[in-house]
Chains A and B, each alone.
Chain A
Amino acid sequence: MDEQTRMHLLKTMVRIRLAELQLAIMYKNGKVFCAAHLYEGEEAVAAGVCANLRSDDCITSTHRGHGHCIAKGMPMKEMIAEVCGRITGCCGGKGGTMHLFKPGIGVMGTVGIVGGGIPLATGLGLAMQMQKTDRVAVSFFGDGAANNGAFHESLNLAALWKLPVIYVCENNGYATSVAVGRSTSVPDIGVRGTAYGIPGITVDGNRVDEVYEAAAEAVARARAGLGPTLLECKTYRIRGHFEGDDSLYRTREEVAEARKRDPIEYWKGRLLGEGVITEDDVAAVNAAAEAEVADAAAFAENSPFPDPQDALVLTNQA
C-alpha cells in the first residue's frame, strides 16, 4: 500500500467519524429529526473497501450507509442536507438518511430494508458483465442480512454466473438489538462463502489495512471475471441501532471494551509508529475534516426544505 493510499484511508475514516458525530449532535438539537443509524466505529470497512473502487464501480448499502457514501465520494454537504430533508440533498429530500443516491459516482442506493440491497448489487454486477466492462459492484450489508433469504438467493446466483460482485458483510455484532451469537448459526459468516463455491474471507474489520488488502484481492478477482467474493469484516457498532436507542440488550462494559479497538486510533498508531506521518499531519487531517463537516452542516441547515407539492413529482397515479 503506497503512502498516498495510507493517508487517504486515514482521511476517509476521520471524515466519516466526524460527520457521524456531527449528525449525532444535530439529532440531539433537533436538526436531524429522523431515526439516524450512525456508523461510528465501523469506518475502516467503508474506507478500506471503497479505496479499491473506481468512480464507475457501484455500491449498494444499508440503513447505516452514510459512511459508505462518503467513502465512495459523495460530497458531504449533499449527504448531510439529505439527512436533514433539504432540497439540496442528494435526493432532494425524497430519500433521506436511509435512501441516498449519487449514480454518477456509483452510489446506487442505500436501502432501508435489511438485505434489500444485495439482489440489486447482484443485478448491477449482471449488467456490468453483460455490457462486457471490468466494473465491479459492492454490496455492503450487516450480519443481520446474512440470515436473510436475499443473501442466499443472491450469492447462489452470483456464484453461478461468476458476477463481478463483492459481498461485504459488516458484522458489527448486532442485528438491531439481537446479538450475532443469538441470531447466527456460525461464528464466522465468511465461512458461508464455501456453501456457494466462492471465496469466503473473514478479516478484522477494525483494521483498515486488512480490509483494504482483502478487498483489493476480491476486486481484482471480480475485474478478472473470476466471480464474486464474500468478505466478512468483523467490527462493532459503538452506537445504538439508532440514535436514542436505550441499548438495554448490552452492557456499558462491552461498549467500553470495544472502544479500545477504535479503527482510527489503530491506523493512526500504525502510521505514526512507522514514521509515515507526524502528529502535525494528524492534526491537519482532523482540522480539514472538521472544517468540511462544519461547512456541510451549515450548508444543510441553511438550505430550504422542498415544496410540499414536490412529493407528487415522479409518481404515476391515474
Chain B
Amino acid sequence: MPRRIRFVEALREGMRQEMERDPSVFVMGEGVGPHGSCFKQTEGFTAQFGEDRSRDTPISELAIAGTAAGAALLGMRPIADLMWIDFSMLAMDQICNQAAKLRYISNGQVNVPVVYRMTTGRSKSNAAHHSGSFYSWYINTPGLKVVVPSTPYDAKGLIVSAIRDNGPVIYLEHKLLLNMRGEVPEEVYEIPLGVADVKREGADLTLVATGAMVGLSLAAAEAVAKDGASVEVIDPRTLMPYDGDAILASVRKTGRLLVVDEGYRYCGFASELIAFVAEKALEVLHQPPRQLTTRHTTIPFSPPMEEFVFPDAARIAGEIRAMLDITAQGDSSNG
C-alpha cells in the first residue's frame, strides 16, 4: 500500500535526502536549527546534520538572502528559509537585484544555486503581514524561478529539483497545505521545473489554479460535475517559467479558460496567463477568459472579512457556472 504522508513531511524528506546525498546542501534561516522551523520543516536536521548545516540565523532577512547567494557563488547549495513571503520583502535587494542577476551580469561565469523557501498565502486570521501571495513580484524578475507545490508528492519532487537547479529558485509553501496528506514515494525523485500537471481531466473548460487554489478548484470542479460540467484542472506547479504548452493544449481542447489565483489581479499570474493565451490562441476561445483572484485589498483580520476577500470553492464554482451558462442543481455551493 502506497505510503501517505503530510506535505510538510514530504518537503522535509526531500531536503533531508538531498542533504544526505550532497554535502554542499545546507539550510539556514531563523529557527531552522533545534526548533526545526516554524512549521517543523527542518525537524531533526540539527541532530542529523549538526548546527553547521542546519544553521540558525538572526532575523536578518537581507543578510540571510545575500549570505546564501554569496555562498552559492562558491559552490554551496543553500536552502534559505525566509519564513513568510511577507518577510522576504526585507530581502528584496539581495533576491531580486543580486541573486537573480548575478549569473546574467557575469555573462554566465557564476551560478547561484540557492533556494529561497517561504510560506505563502492565507491561513487563519494571519492578517496583513502574514497572508501575502506576492509571487508575481518574483515572476516579474528575470533570473528567478518560482515554484508553488499543491500536493505532498509535488512538494517533495519540486524541492529536490529546486535544490539541484543552478539558479535561484523561490519555493513557496502554502500554509494551509502543510498538513495535507498524500501519496509520496520514499525514494528521491525530481519533478522537472516548468512542467505542469493535469490534476483533473475535462472537456468543457480549462481551469488553471495554483497552490491552495488547486484543491479548492478540484472541489469546485467536482461540484459542477453534478450539473454536467466537465472541467479540466491544471496546476502549473512552476509559475516561472510556466508550462505554456500544457495550458495551450488544454485550452485548444476546451475552448474556455478560467484562472484562479490567490495573488492579486493587477499584473498578476492570472492576468499573465490570460494575456498569454489571448496572444497565442485567442481564436480557439469560445468566450472571454476570466480570472478569479484575491480581492484587491490588504488582507483583513476578522474572519468574515478575511473569508470574503479570498477565492473559495463556492466562488470558483460560481465562475465556472457563469462561464458555462449553467445553474446549480441540488447543491447550494454557488452562493
Binding site for B on A (CB under 8 A): 58, 60, 90-92, 94-95, 99, 101-103, 108-109, 111, 113, 115-116, 118-128, 130-131, 137, 149-150, 153-154, 156-157, 160, 313-318
Complex alpha-carbon distance, A121 and B66, angstroms: 8
Q: How distant is the Cα of A149 from the Cα of B59 in the complex, in angstroms?
A: 12
Given known A-B contacts A118-B66, A318-B244, A103 and B58 have beta carbons under 8 A apart:
no
Which of B69, B109, B144, B242 makes the CB contact (< 8 A) with A103?
B109
Q: Is B37 engaged at the interface, CB distance under 8 Å to the other chain?
A: no
Q: Looking at the assembled complex, report how far the CB atom of A196 sits from the nearest CB atom of chain B, in whole angstroms.
A: 12
Shortest distance in angstroms between B27's beta carbon and chain A's nearest beta carbon? 12
Q: Are B107 and A156 in contact (CB under 8 A)?
A: no
Known: A118-B66, A154-B63. A127 touches B93 (CB 8 A): no
Q: Give the chain A neighbours of B143 by CB distance below 8 A.
A: 315-316
Which secondary structure characterizes the binding site on chain A? mixed
Q: Could you tell me the distance in whole angstroms from the C-beta of A59 to the nearest C-beta in chain B?
A: 12
Contact A120 B97 (CB under 8 A): no
Which chain B residue has the least Cβ–Cβ distance from A115? B93
A-B contact pairs, 27 of them (CB 8 A): A91-B105, A91-B109, A99-B106, A101-B105, A101-B106, A101-B107, A101-B109, A103-B73, A103-B106, A103-B110, A109-B105, A115-B93, A119-B70, A122-B66, A124-B70, A124-B74, A127-B70, A131-B75, A153-B62, A153-B63, A154-B66, A157-B63, A314-B108, A316-B144, A316-B241, A318-B241, A318-B244
Complex Cα distance, B194 from A167, in Å, reads 40
- Interface residue? B5 (CB, 8 A): no
**Least Cβ–Cβ distance between B246 and chain A, in angstroms:** 11
B105 x A120 contact (CB < 8 A)? no
A158 → chain B closest CB, angstroms = 9
CB-contact partner of B107 in A113, A121, A314, under 8 A: A314
The residues of A that contact B98 with a CB separation of less than 8 Å are: 111, 113, 116, 119-120
The 3 A-B pairs of least Cβ separation, nearest first, read A123-B70, A119-B66, A153-B63
Separation of A130 and B73 alpha carbons in the complex (Å): 13
Q: Contact at A318–B70, with CB atoms within 8 Å? A: no
Q: Is the CB of A315 within 8 A of B104?
A: yes
Residues of A within 8 A of B110 (CB): 101, 103, 108-109
**What's the minimum C-beta distance from B179 to chain A, rounded to whole angstroms?**
31
Q: Which of A94, A102, A125, A157 contacts B105 (CB 8 A)?
A: A94
CB of B58 within 8 A of CB of A119, answer no
B94 within 8 A of A: yes
Q: How far is the CA of A313 from the CA of B60 in the complex (A)?
A: 33
Q: Are A130 and B70 in contact (CB under 8 A)?
A: no
Whether B72 sits at the interface, judged by CB under 8 Å, is yes
Contact partners of A103 in chain B: CB under 8 A? 73, 106, 109-110
- Identify B52's interface contact among A111, A130, A318, CB under 8 A: A130
Q: Which residues of B contact A115 (CB under 8 A)?
A: 93
Does B63 lie within 8 Å of A109, measured CB to CB? no
Give the residue name and chain of the B residue nearest to A154 (CB).
B63
Cα separation A88 to B109 with both chains bound (whole Å): 14
| Total count of chain B residues near the partner, CB < 8 A | 46
* Complex interface: chain A residues within 8 A of B142 (CB): 315-317
Contacts of B252 in A (CB 8 A): none
**Residues of B54-107 contacting chain A, CB below 8 A:** 57-58, 60, 62-63, 65-76, 78, 93-94, 97-98, 101-107
Q: Which residues of chain B come closer than 8 Å to A91, judged between CB atoms?
A: 105-107, 109
The verdict on B26 contacting chain A, using a C-beta distance below 8 Å, is yes
Most A C-beta atoms less than 10 A away, residue of B62, B67, B93, B103:
B67
Inter-chain contact A150/B93, CB cutoff 8 Å: yes
Q: Is the CB of A122 within 8 A of B70?
A: yes
Interface residues of B in 236-275 (CB under 8 A from A): 240-244
Q: Are B70 and A116 in contact (CB under 8 A)?
A: no
Instruction: Report the minimal beta-carbon distance from A83 to chain B, rounded to whole angstroms.
Output: 14
Cα(A315)–Cα(B108), bound, Å: 10
Query: Given that A95-B106, A120-B66, A156-B58 are contacting pairs, would A58 and B74 also be in contact in the complex, using a CB cutoff of 8 Å?
Result: yes
Any A CB within 8 A of the CB of B12: no
* B58 and A154 form a contact (CB under 8 A): no
Point out the residues of chain A lying under 8 angstroms from B71, CB to CB.
Answer: 123-124, 126-127, 130
Given contacts A95-B107, A315-B143, contact A124 B93 (CB under 8 A): no
Query: Could you tell me the distance between the alpha carbons of A94 and B240 in the complex, rounded to whole angstroms?
Result: 22
Contact partner, A127, options B63, B74, B108, Cβ 8 Å? B74
Residues of B within 8 A of A315 (CB): 104, 142-143
Known contacts A120-B70, A124-B71, A126-B71; A109/B106 CB under 8 A: yes
Cβ contact of A122, chosen from B67, B107, B241, B276, cutoff 8 A:
B67
Looking at A90, A91, A153, A154, the one whose CB has the most chain B CB atoms below 10 A away is A153
Chain A residue nearest in CB terms to B70: A123
